[in-house]
Structure 1
Amino acid sequence: MTPIKSPKKLIEVALPLDDINVAAAREKSIRHGHPSTLHLWWARRPLAAARAVIFAQMVNDPGYQRELGYGVNKKEAEIKREKLFDIIRELVKWENTNNEEVLQRARDAIWESWRETCHLNRNHPQAAELFNPEKLPAFHDPFAGGGAIPLEAQRLGLESYASDLNPVAVMINKAMIEIPPKFAGQKPVGPLPAGEKQQNMMEDWSGAKGLAEDVRRYGHWMREEAFKRIGHLYPKVEITPEMVAQRPDLKAYQGEELTVIAWLWARTVKSPNPAYAHVDVPLVRSFVLSSKKGKEVWVEPVIDGDSYHFEVRSGEPTIDAIQGTVVRSGGTCILSQTPISFKYIRNEAKDDRMGLKLMAVVAEGKSGRVYLSPTPNIEAIAKSAKSDRFTETEISHWPGRTNVVEYGMTKFLDLFTQRQLVALTTFSDLVQEAREKAIADAKKAGLADDGLGLAHGGKGATAYGEAVAILLAFSIDKMADLGNSLVRWEPVAQCPRQLFGRQAIPMVWDFAEANPFSTSSGAWTTFVEGQSKAFAKSFLNVQPWFEGNATQADAATQSISSHKVVSSDPPYYDNIGYADLSDFFYVWMRRSLKTIYPELFSTMAVPKVEELVASPYRHGNKQGAETFFLNGMTKAMSSMAQQSHPVFPVTIYYAFKQSETKEDTTTSTGWVTFLEAVIQAGFSIDGTWPMRTENSSRMIGQGSNALASSIVLVCRKRLITADTISRRDFQRQLREEMPEALEAMIGGETGQTPIAPVDLAQSSIGPGMAIYSKYAAVLNQDGSRMSVHDALILINRAISDYLNPDGGSFDADTLFCDDWFAQYGWSAGAFGDADTLARAKGTSVDGVHSAGVIESGSGKVRLLKWSEYPSDWDPRDDSRTPVWEACHQMIRALNQQGEAAAGALLARMPEQGEPIRQLAYHLYTLCERKKWAEEARAYNELIGSWHAIVAASHDTGHRDEQIGLEL
């Protein structure tokens, strides 16, 4: 068989990782105009990371000729590689997302590499099939999810295919890559809303601006129509003289009718006290409505015998108001102070005895919110709404993720009040009416009609009307997310907060019911305007020649990947129940869009049986879930390995934290099972890159074992001729190759920003697994195949050995401090134990004490915390400076004075830089394994700021040199 000549790609050799990570981290804080705002999806990859990965996956590394036997000038290769780096540096910037000049440079580089590759393989028997120099290979993401990766492939000029088992994900991808190119440059066809005038007859309708504008126009029409039908359920509140008499602060509004922003409700249960068993008592997390300084507002339950009512108060809230009536241990009856257990609440809820009581009304004022006490009439109007239950789709209960089921909310429609259901169903019905109007208007505007809808490849008036309807249906989903009975009122921002603040459907006691006819959070116009702007900005550069296709397909059995470039972000073991959560949106999407995509919405709920998530409740137990995940993921990875284009590596994102610590080795079932699947599928892991794809607020110290980085695995199909090696040879290769790889990761001499300690153990899996996975098998002494789990143990051990101060050239005082810290932390220990340890390390307690890092007296010895170190310390005046002291002085300077001060300190002891970093990594690992979160944070922050500290130290050194010259 004639071998395919496959040049190494840039991603297999080098990347400007700092620039990619800075851009990806910045992007996480961008909301306006970001494609992610079109529809919620969980765990999206940043566009910057996806764009950089695909580009580097497709361009040849300039040094590839050496590998293929061609002569090459190493210096010239480095210059060319730097030019590719410059393209990436520009490509990942948020402001260049739609910059055609920058994008075209990237496309040109991809084409140049592709034509080189085609030329190399011009005589291959499959040249006509695989190496057409006039057409780039297409792209496929088999776990497309939120669509970031397929979108960026399309932006780089590739025909983009996205597939997912989940219909909600498929619809998101259709809106991202399939629909915009069909109508690029199309002028809006809908009539302007009443009162608006055409701004400019020659207005620019390039990209998706015209379609976005029609979404706004038809969305406005829907709002007016909905108000005609259900506006009576959302009356304004008149400020009467009687109200002003009780609340002088309302005088400025007397006689006015104010638009309501939200109604604030409390859930209720019958009091467990027999004397008050007939009273529905409130369950409230907090009665505080506004915590803004100087504008505090709260609700007071006014008790009158065996009844109560709510009144709005202003000023400093009471302790009872702040605490509410529900805490972690349970609730309290406001009438009798009788405890209310959660078991009692759950039983009441399941027996349909949980009710609602209006606590307050929030209205739009002249310069802020106006809080009003509830009235029986306002509450009665709200409760008068009655809605048909159009679906009985059940919530799949995943303990800890869908706790509402424990409180009787077993079906998705149970999550909404009757008035919310009336509003959502009304707007949902209007989506279909807007579709019909848009089709008719498109025909009137002269848009040709082929009579085909989007599902059949239509591009005319019918398809255009359906495109408008799809984006309006996305607004329905946004409305559902902010228009359900699990929406909290945020007292700082003074607005409702959407249900999906995290990947769960948690129970909420008091909630905000937003008014869809206001102009604030939760209002229909807010959703539609935001949707229109986001769509227009996200697809400014969409071209008619862009090709995209989104399909429902099981990643384990799909055949779409054939001869395509593949990059994907598969599910993270049991981290997110995508199907369970997206049913929340599916029931609304199905109602609005089933006529457009009948096959996609043929089921009552999102398919779950084949979903590759390790869910114990679906598969009987943890072992069953693990087996299912391994088998399914292996099939999916095998599909990628066998079908993907042979000259391109496959890139796979994974961000599941190693979380199980046993015998000083940290692993996790999720990682082990995933890597096992990748390797069993026939992949070798040829490279790994830690990319800043997660929200930094989820870093250590937040109480969650979260990563700041995803690991991008660069995979090639393992050679059929791959050998087997022994366990001993594997360990030898780890000893020989891991130190260099780790040195590169923590910064070394490369000048690259080091990987944060919180990510090091995860990132370091790559080099170790690259060794393990390139062989057909690693054999144990008894001839059995070494498992991924055992390989990870050895890889993690190699990491620990590298970081261990005993393995380096650390001073004796530091070695003593390290061992003492591992045993006692910051607590005191016996002098005798300290004396024994100090002798073993080649130092003495008195010597360590003279170094200024311990407190010794009364038969006890204790390490000083960094905060106890003197702030006027200067290493140039210190005759005994252990690395331990230098490291903790750096932490003190960073925390108390900032990066500039830490840099100035480092400038006085530059020779200590590398040992300080290595010690910080080691101590972070030690603290993490001992679950000392606060201590770990200090070391993580030191490394996280290292690049800036070094830069500041160079600035200080330069200034000192200048001063020296002047003197």
Structure 2
Amino acid sequence: MYPVKTPKKLIEVALPLDAINAEAALRKRKAPGGYPTTLHKWWAQRPVAAARAVIFAQMVNDPGYQQGGGFKFGVNKEKAAIERERLFKIIEDLVRWENTNNEEVLGRAREEIWRSWRETCALNKDHPQAAELFNPEKLPFFHDPFAGSGAIPLEAQRLGMESYASDLNPVAVTINKAMIEIPSKFAGRAPVGPEIAADKGSGRKATRDAFEDWSGAKGLAEDVRRYGAWMREEAEKRIGHLYPKIEVTAEMVAERPDLKPYLGEKLTVIAWLWARTVHSPNPAFSHAEVPLASTFILSSKSGKEVYVEPVVEGNSYRFSVKLGSPPESARNGTKAAGRSSNFFCLLSNTPISGDYIKSEGQAGRLGARLMAIVAEGVRGRIYLPPTSEHEAVARQAHFEWKPSGEVPARLTGGTCVPYGMKEWGDLFTHRQLAALNVFSDLVQEAIVRVRENALTAGWEDDVGLDQGGAGAIAYAQAVGVYLACAISRLADYGCSLATWRPKDNAMRSGMPKQALQMSWDFAEGSAFAQSSSGFVECADVVAKVLETALSGYVKGEAFQCSAATHGSFGVLGNVVVSTDPPYYDNIGYADLSDFLYVWLRRCLRPIFSGLYATLAVPKAEELVAIPYRHGGKEKAEAFFLDGMGEAIKSLALRAHPAFPVTIYYAFKQAETKEGSGTSSTGWETFLAAVIGGGFAITGTWPVRTEGDNRQVGTGNNALASSIVLVCRQRAADAPSISRREFIRELNAVLPVALDEMTRGGINSPVAPVDLSQAIIGPGMAIFSKYTAVLEADGTPMSVRTALQLINRFLAEDDFDHDTQFCLHWFETQGWATGKYGEADVLARAKGTSVGGLVEAGVVESSKGELRLLRWADMASDWSPETDIRIPVWEALHQMIRALNQEGESAAGALLARMPERSEPIRALAYRLYTLCERKGWAEDARAYNELVTAWTAIEQASHEVGHSGHQGAFDL
């Protein structure tokens, strides 16, 4: 094959990680209105900040090429550094959500992409395939073969590339059509729906056509709002009687004087709050259905506390709603101490076991009792006691159809199946099913109206959306797609797994995580209210994404295809690829997405007949290692490795030779294990697939894609950072090397790389939380550039062994003797007390003594025992100038004490008094963070991480104070 001249891309050299991670973490904590991930439910969605930055850096040449006059970093390092800073500034501006539609910022980014592309084309103008591969007037296509939620192809489109998205899952394909395909067809068109007057009851604002800006997808967004409002009005005519208002009676006011201003008024209901019930297991009360309530708290906002008080009256009970600070007994409802599924009988105090509840559920005997009603007051939401009339209305609801299909009996985060909720229709109350039936049917009626209005507005009629149409019928179906997205949101908030959030006085969706967890007390929101469960609000959330983030910059297309078996993927060649594959065994996307598929299919099968031909989402080909689907753990791993290997080979063959491929892999915290560093079956299998597929890894970047609340010490299935793998196709004639030669290269490269990562050079310093992931990059770059690394017996080295050899560079002990003792003792004992004899033996081995350690101020020893001193135990009046024995361990923990007790300025002032210890202190903090994270010691890990992340400010403070001359003595 004729060689291609490929300048290194920015992502292969440098990235402004701090700016990217800060923005990504911010948006993971709270997605603003219009954020792309709010268009439709999906799991493990990439923040757009990460996607934008990665794709931009993947497309842009590193300035080292330009300044060096060739492919190696040239002599003019200063100019290259200045150029990188300029590119960093573009990325820092680009990743900010506020700049999503800032044409000045986007223009600068696109200009850089084009500049780099034309440079690359010029370098390859004599290539035999120059006309095909290097057309300076047209950017290569972009393709994401695991498109999922669509954030990555959307951002490629925003940066000016014609974008293609494929996925096996029809729900994901639909999301991507809504993201990148439909908006580009109808960009700049005015809405066709009639203007709507303001409606206080629905919360709908008045609309006007005159003088409106219908650029991008704003006209399409407005039609989603207009026809969404029409659907609400029509639905209310048909099922409005199932959603009555609540009258404030004199009896209510007698118990609650705060309700006096509402006496006689009929208030709009926001939600009905129910508790599931079972027959009491006590024979004397077996006639009674007693509540399974996880809490009786309705509002926990300070000064606005509200709770349910159960009132027992003989062998029955009722619920009353009270204001004020709740008694402690209200916090856990009728839950008993112990496992979460255990309760007690409200009438007899008899324990209700989890097994009993499951047996009642399997027999179809779980009931529900109304606990409270949330209504819309003048200045916010008010809580009212339940009424028999409202309970009766809910029970008289009828529906024509309910979704069939089995709810998955096993899910990562839990499932409701053991409690008798076995089919999708079981997850909804009768009233919820009635509402979803009506709104789903109205999607088709809305499509008919949109087409009629479009024809009246002068549109040409054409073929449907699935046939590539762009006329009246295709536009009507496009509006229908977004209304169906609103139906998905309505189903998520309008199921009996949805709950009430006392802290926020708001609904929580039925699937806040990758699970279908049982909800004991659930919130039945009104489809006609101004809340997250109201259909107008659901449609408005979808419309905000359309007008804010989906402007249809250039053409896009989404199609159904398995990345492993290629399919339609085969028509795309020489593409830029960035993708986010499934995470081994962490999320069963197909199992979860059936919850939404059954409703989307009802709405969209007339539009996408092929996509929604099956009764459920395809599962057999889904590339996740789920043991119960493949007959065991080993078979599941083999399926994943084979399938992912085929997918990676396909990527390698179709990727444009001028660009690296970027692949996301999100870690679970459980994947960083003691003694092996960043290592797990999933990670090893994934890396093996990437390398076996023909890629050499040229870089790894830890990107904070999962939010900063999941960095340290969370549950086993919590996702931590993503590693973005940067890959190039491995040379066909790549040689093999021996284990000894591999280790020799690691010894030469990794210490320099580790120093660069912790000190910061071209890039900002890598935080301790990310170090074990970041070091993989230079290590695997060595391992993967060879056909094989051969063990002494001639067998190829495994990825696991390579990772263990790489991770050992995080465990070197280059510290003074006292600190080496402390490190070893801490690793085995933590802060616990140990035996003096063992400490004495260890101290001698490390070249120190217990007496010396006591004198150094790092341990406490008495009565034949010894323990390390925590930072909080250390003296606040410590003076490094007068201390004649200062281990790095002591200096580090004194710094942590100063930071925690007095802040960055005090820590900086302390550092100024011992500047020669700056680098050892920071190196030890990294070392201890890695140790604590592998041990699962979350609080300790956080302390070390916080010191390092504050290090720049601490150093600045130390320089402002000025350094003192005397540093004390090292015990080396």
Quickly name the TM-score band, shorter chain normalised: over 0.9
Percent of aligned positions that are identical: 61
Return the match for 2:601 from 564, 585, 590: 590
1:547 and 2:587 correspond: no
Return the match for 1:308 from 295, 299, 317: 317
1:246 and 2:255 correspond: yes
* Gaps in structure 1 of 5+ consecutive residues: 961-967
Residue 313 of structure 1: how far off its partner (Å): 2.1
CA gap of 1:379–1:71, structure 2 versus 1, over 3 A, is closer
Q: Which amino acid aligns with 2:889?
A: W
Partner of 1:915: 920
Q: Which amino acid aligns with 2:444?
A: Q
State the alpha-carbon separation in 2 of the partners of residues 393 and 815 from structure 1. Answer: 60
CA gap of 1:20–1:956, structure 2 versus 1, over 3 A, is farther
Greater displacement, 495-504 / 873-882: 873-882
1:187 and 2:190 correspond: yes
Residue 130 of structure 1: how far off its partner (Å): 1.3
Partner of 1:132: 135
State the alpha-carbon separation in 1 of the partners of residues 674 and 843 from structure 2. Answer: 28
Residue 272 of structure 1: how far off its partner (Å): 1.2
Residue 265 of structure 1: how far off its partner (Å): 0.5
Partner of 1:7: 7
What SS does the aligned partner of 2:591 have? helix
Residue 890 of structure 1: how far off its partner (Å): 1.6
Return the match for 1:624 from 635, 639, 646: 635
Residue 116 of structure 1: how far off its partner (Å): 1.9
State the alpha-carbon separation in 1 of the partners of residues 69 and 258 from structure 2. Answer: 80
CA gap of 1:426–1:956, structure 2 versus 1, over 3 A, is farther
State the alpha-carbon separation in 2 of the partners of residues 912 and 227 from structure 1. Answer: 72
Q: Which amino acid aligns with 2:185?
A: K
Return the match for 1:370 from 379, 382, 385: 382
CA gap of 1:507–1:228, structure 2 versus 1, over 3 A, is same
Greater displacement, 561-570 / 856-865: 856-865
Deviations 1:294-336, CA, capped at 9 Å, x for gaps: 3222112222222222121222322322221124431111112
State the alpha-carbon separation in 2 of the partners of residues 831 and 197 from structure 1. Answer: 79
CA gap of 1:189–1:874, structure 2 versus 1, over 3 A, is farther
Report 1:230-629 matches (<5 A). Answer: 230-327=239-336, 328-329=338-339, 330-449=342-461, 451-539=462-550, 542-543=552-553, 546-558=554-566, 559-629=570-640
Greater displacement, 907-916 / 217-226: 907-916
Partner of 1:825: 830
Q: How many residue pairs were aligned?
A: 949
State the alpha-carbon separation in 1 of the partners of residues 614 and 249 from structure 2. Answer: 52
Partner of 1:158: 161
Report 1:848-859 matches (<5 A). Answer: 848-859=853-864
State the alpha-carbon separation in 2 of the partners of residues 71 and 763 from structure 1. Answer: 25
Partner of 2:970: none
Residue 67 of structure 1: how far off its partner (Å): 4.6
Greater displacement, 895-904 / 253-262: 895-904
Partner of 1:691: 703
State the alpha-carbon separation in 2 of the partners of residues 30 and 750 from structure 1. Answer: 32
Kept after mapping to 1: 8 A contact 2:163/2:180 = yes
Q: Which amino acid aligns with 1:499?
A: G
Return the match for 2:868 from 847, 852, 863: 863
Residue 18 of structure 1: how far off its partner (Å): 2.5
Residue 75 of structure 1: how far off its partner (Å): 3.9
Greater displacement, 782-791 / 820-829: 820-829
Return the match for 1:634 from 635, 645, 650: 645
CA gap of 1:749–1:111, structure 2 versus 1, over 3 A, is closer
Partner of 2:969: none
CA gap of 1:637–1:959, structure 2 versus 1, over 3 A, is same
CA gap of 1:841–1:621, structure 2 versus 1, over 3 A, is same
What SS does the aligned partner of 1:711 have? strand
State the alpha-carbon separation in 2 of the partners of residues 706 and 322 from structure 1. Answer: 26
Residue 197 of structure 1: how far off its partner (Å): 5.6
What SS does the aligned partner of 2:165 have? strand
Q: Which amino acid aligns with 2:135?
A: N
What SS does the aligned partner of 1:878 have? coil
Partner of 2:691: 679
Q: Which amino acid aligns with 1:16?
A: P
Deviations 1:734-767, CA, capped at 9 Å, x for gaps: 1221111122222x25285432323222222222
State the alpha-carbon separation in 2 of the partners of residues 371 and 597 from structure 1. Answer: 44
Residue 135 of structure 1: how far off its partner (Å): 1.1
What SS does the aligned partner of 1:610 have? coil
Partner of 2:739: 727
Kept after mapping to 1: 8 A contact 2:153/2:165 = yes
Return the match for 2:104 from 96, 101, 105: 101
Residue 199 of structure 1: how far off its partner (Å): 4.7
Residue 652 of structure 1: how far off its partner (Å): 0.5
State the alpha-carbon separation in 2 of the partners of residues 842 and 417 from structure 1. Answer: 71
Residue 250 of structure 1: how far off its partner (Å): 1.7
What SS does the aligned partner of 2:320 have? strand
Partner of 1:645: 656
Kept after mapping to 1: 8 A contact 2:676/2:804 = no
Return the match for 2:233 from 224, 227, 231: 224
Q: Which amino acid aligns with 1:924?
A: Y
Deviations 1:528-564, CA, capped at 9 Å, x for gaps: 222222321113x544xx1100111101122254111
1:953 and 2:954 correspond: no
State the alpha-carbon separation in 2 of the partners of residues 680 and 959 from structure 1. Answer: 56
Kept after mapping to 1: 8 A contact 2:64/2:73 = no
State the alpha-carbon separation in 1 of the partners of residues 453 and 209 from structure 2. Answer: 20
Partner of 2:23: 23
Q: Which amino acid aligns with 2:292?
A: L
Kept after mapping to 2: 8 A contact 1:656/1:670 = no
State the alpha-carbon separation in 2 of the partners of residues 225 and 331 from structure 1. Answer: 43
Kept after mapping to 1: 8 A contact 2:713/2:937 = no
State the alpha-carbon separation in 2 of the partners of residues 429 and 291 from structure 1. Answer: 39
Greater displacement, 951-960 / 148-157: 951-960
Deviations 1:699-742, CA, capped at 9 Å, x for gaps: 21334464542111111111111010111111111122111112
State the alpha-carbon separation in 2 of the partners of residues 313 and 242 from structure 1. Answer: 14
Return the match for 1:656 from 667, 672, 678: 667
What SS does the aligned partner of 2:174 have? helix
CA gap of 1:257–1:756, structure 2 versus 1, over 3 A, is same
Partner of 2:59: 58
Kept after mapping to 2: 8 A contact 1:404/1:507 = yes
What SS does the aligned partner of 1:134 have? coil
Give the alignment's Cα RMSD to 1 decimal: 2.1
Residue 660 of structure 1: how far off its partner (Å): 6.3
TM-score under structure 1 length normalisation:
0.95
Partner of 1:713: 725
Residue 919 of structure 1: how far off its partner (Å): 0.9
Residue 62 of structure 1: how far off its partner (Å): 2.8
What SS does the aligned partner of 1:709 have? strand
Q: Which amino acid aligns with 1:61?
A: D
Residue 959 of structure 1: how far off its partner (Å): 13
Deviations 1:492-513, CA, capped at 9 Å, x for gaps: 1112111222111111100110
Kept after mapping to 2: 8 A contact 1:431/1:592 = yes
Greater displacement, 709-718 / 821-830: 821-830
Residue 74 of structure 1: how far off its partner (Å): 4.2
TM-score under structure 2 length normalisation:
0.94
Kept after mapping to 2: 8 A contact 1:700/1:706 = no
Residue 665 of structure 1: how far off its partner (Å): 5.0
Residue 569 of structure 1: how far off its partner (Å): 0.5
Deviations 1:331-356, CA, capped at 9 Å, x for gaps: 11111211111111111101101111
Kept after mapping to 1: 8 A contact 2:501/2:507 = yes
Q: Which amino acid aligns with 1:123?
A: D
